[in-house]
Chain A
Amino acid sequence: MKTAKLASLAKVVRSKNAGVDKITFDIIFADRGTYERAVRSGAITRAAVARLYGIPEARISDFVTFDPACAIKFTLYRDRPSGSPGDPDIFGAQQYAPLLDLEVPID
């Protein structure tokens, strides 16, 4: 089966704080066709994200598809509130990078 990296399919892949206890991830596609194929592929799911980040699924508070924006969105609980001593990313802005290499079936 032919696959493509998510970085080549999505227009936006980003992460950011959602309040002080969560980090949220947005994967936005430029067109509806690519978005729908990515959703149908089954490669981007709660389980796949948990596996990629090495976390239990219970740490994912929300996982939704959002048709009006052609987007897949999920949110993680932080291991400590943003900006606490030892938090490496106060804004949560650099946590999306592993998603870029996710292989998505495109047939």
Chain B
Amino acid sequence: MTGKTLRFLVPNGHLGFAPLQPRSFELGVAARPDFIVSDSGSDDIGPGPLGSDACASPQEWQRHDLEHILLACRTLGVPMLIGSAGDTGANSRVDLYVEMIREIAARHRLAPFRLGYFYSEVSPELVRERIEAGERVAGLNGRADLTLEDLARTDRIVALAGIHPYNTLLDMGADVIIGGRSSDLAICAGPAVRAGFPDALAYYLGKVLECASFCAEPYGAKESVIGEISMEDVKVTAMHPDQRCTVASVAAHAMYERATPFVEHALGGELDMRHCRYEQFDPRTTRITGPKWRPAAELRVKLEGAGKVGERYIGIAGVRDPYTIANIDRVIEWARRAVEARCGRTGYELHYQVFGRNGVMGDLEPVRTPAHELGIVVHGVAPDRATAEEVCMIGTRQLFYARLPDVKGTAGGVAFPLDEVVRASAAYRWTVNHTLRVRDPLELFPLRLVDVGAPTETAGRR
């Protein structure tokens, strides 16, 4: 296969979170890539979207990017791969993107094509059975193994697919693939492995392209980049005329949002980037050689799970009196006691975030001197809405009535910009960040293949 290459156009690192930039995308399309791919997932957005089965991104922006990519792919006649549909990759998000693809195809009267998709949700029941059978669901990042109690607090779990469902759907003839939750690198690594390129280079290609123009400089998000794989190397090129993929920008991307720049895990193995060599190939292109791929001795799939903590209200108060600022912990303690007197000590969460002291960093804040004024955000969380509101209301309003012995201002201890508490989205927690052993890398990911644009659609299964 000497001389053969594959080229991937990546217009967005988190499809839908902000729209792709059309100008560099059109330049990328004009370069006639072999694939156009984009990941749409992130766990950066907090546990709320997965727990509540919603998107963090507006549908309008998701549709915008899917439409650009679908039309370009059908015009070029090349495959389109979308990973981790709708921020979370949950089943409902896959269905949402599948529906959008159908709708865009119908609106543009596209010629028939085959749409493949797969699901990534894992039922808590299945995980429960595995734990009860004595299987370890191993904790990541210092977490203990998953317990039945953790599981009982979990509303939804997704598994991170590797390259396998994408490649199987390509084998089945899919032209467009909408993926459930999957590793960011899978959408590039999959087709490259399938075409016979070395695993190490294929997985590196996926890793370096996962966030589109984040591997280029100067900083500018949502611009297109093209990655090219050969039997010997990977090359990445910025499509925006003012951006360049430099040795520094490409190397620096290995660090982004990862605990270490040296290793990246995926289902089936790990990518070792310790010995990568970076060279400036042309002014906008960097060439990379030397990554290694180590297949895993045991297949372990990463699980992400979120569970609802409760309904949530927030209150806001300000403080300007220097004596009150110096004694703010006593003021908060007063309000906490008032909540306890009414609601007891357990069954809710009450958090005080004190801006002007450590509202941004909490216990990590090294500065001990407070500002001349404080802003306090009061978070009340409880299983039902009425309790959450009451906890938050007492916890906020009693700041006003706190009894400090030497306070001069006896008409009210804090300032209220609103004399109310405000309902916020429900509070969730990441309850699962663990790995589960599997025998087959496809076993948690049911595949579907349908014809789009044809008079009758036939569903198929693996």
In the complex, chain A residues 24-69 whose Cβ is within 8 Å of any chain B Cβ: 24, 26, 28, 52-55, 61-62, 64, 66, 68-69
Residue in A closest to B273 when the chains form the complex, CB atoms? A68
**Contacts A54-B366, A68-B278, A98-B366 known; 11 new A-B pairs at CB < 8 A:** A18-B258, A19-B259, A28-B252, A64-B262, A68-B251, A73-B260, A83-B429, A85-B309, A85-B429, A86-B351, A88-B360
Contact B252 A86 (CB under 8 A): no
In the complex, the answer to whether B429 meets A94 with C-beta atoms within 8 Å is: no
Residues of the A chain whose Cβ atoms lie less than 8 Å from the Cβ of B428: 83
What is the CA–CA distance of A89 and B141 in the complex, to the nearest angstrom? 19
Closest residue of chain A to B352, judged by CB? Answer: A86
Total residues of chain B contacting the partner, CB 8 A: 48
Contacts A19-B433, A21-B141 given; does A85 touch B427 at CB 8 Å: yes
- In the complex, the answer to whether A18 meets B251 with C-beta atoms within 8 Å is no
Task: Give the contact-size bracket for chain A.
Answer: 35 or more
Q: Is the CB of B255 within 8 A of A62?
A: no
A16-B141 contact in complex given A54-B364, A79-B362, A84-B429, C-beta closer than 8 Å = no
On whether the beta carbons of B259 and A83 are closer than 8 Å, the reply is: no
A97 to B366, CA, bound (A): 10
Q: Are B349 and A54 within 8 A (Cβ)?
A: no
Q: Mark B419-455, 1 if CB is under 8 A from A, else 0.
A: 0000000011110010000000000000000000000
A2 → B minimal CB distance (Å) = 24
A16, B359: Cα distance in complex, Å: 17
Cβ of A71 under 8 Å from chain B: yes
Q: Are B360 and A66 in contact, with the CB atoms below 8 A?
A: no
| Chain B stretch 8-61: residues in CB contact (< 8 A) with chain A | 43-48
Q: Quote the shortest CB–CB distance from A7 to chain B (angstroms).
A: 15
Determine the residue in chain A with the shortest Cβ distance to B139. Answer: A21
Which residues from chain A contact B304 at a C-beta distance below 8 Å?
Answer: 20
Give Cα A91 to B44, complex, Å.
6
Known A-B contacts A53-B366, A70-B248, A88-B353; the reply to A82 vs B258 at CB < 8 A is no
When C-beta atoms are compared, the residue in chain B nearest to A75 turns out to be B259
Give the shortest distance, in Å, between B332 (CB) and chain A (any CB).
13
Alpha-carbon distance between A19 and B142 when the two chains are bound, in angstroms: 12
Chain B contacts of A89 at CB under 8 A?
Answer: 360-361
B261 within 8 A of A: yes
CA distance A85 to B252 in the complex (A): 32
Per a CB cutoff under 8 Å, which of B48, B248, B359, B429 touches A81?
B429
Cβ contacts under 8 Å, A98 to chain B: 361, 364-367
Evaluate contact between A62 and B259: CB separation under 8 angstroms: yes
Q: B259 and A18: CB pair below 8 A?
A: yes
